[in-house]
Amino acid sequence: MDFAALSAARYSLRKFSAQPVEPEKLNLILEAGRNAPTAHNNQPQRIFVLQSPEALEKADACTAAHFHPPVILVVAYDPETAWHRETDGKNHGEIDAAIATTQMMLQAADLGLGTTYVGMFEPEKLLAAFPEMAGTFPIAMLPLGYPAEGAHPARLHNDRKPMDELVKTL
* C-alpha 93, offset from chain centre: 14
Query: Closest by alpha carbon to 29, among 144, 133, 152?
Result: 144
pLDDT tens column, 11-53 = 999 999 999 999 999 999 999 999 999 999 999 999 999 999 9
Largest CA distance in the chain: 53
Cβ atoms 121, 141 nearer than 8 A: yes
pLDDT at 154: 86
E strands, the chain, in order: 45-50, 71-77, 114-115, 137-145
Q: Is 121 left (phi over 0), alpha (psi -120 to 50) or beta?
A: beta
Percent of the chain beyond pLDDT 70?
99
Q: Region 50-76: what's the mean pLDDT?
A: 97
Q: What is the pLDDT of residue 158?
A: 85
The proportion of the chain whose per-residue pLDDT surpasses 90, expressed as a percent, equals 90
Quick: pLDDT tens for 88-128. 999 999 999 999 999 999 999 999 999 999 999 999 999 99
CA separation for the pair 29, 140 (Å, rounded): 15
Whether this prediction's pTM lies above 0.85 is answered by: yes
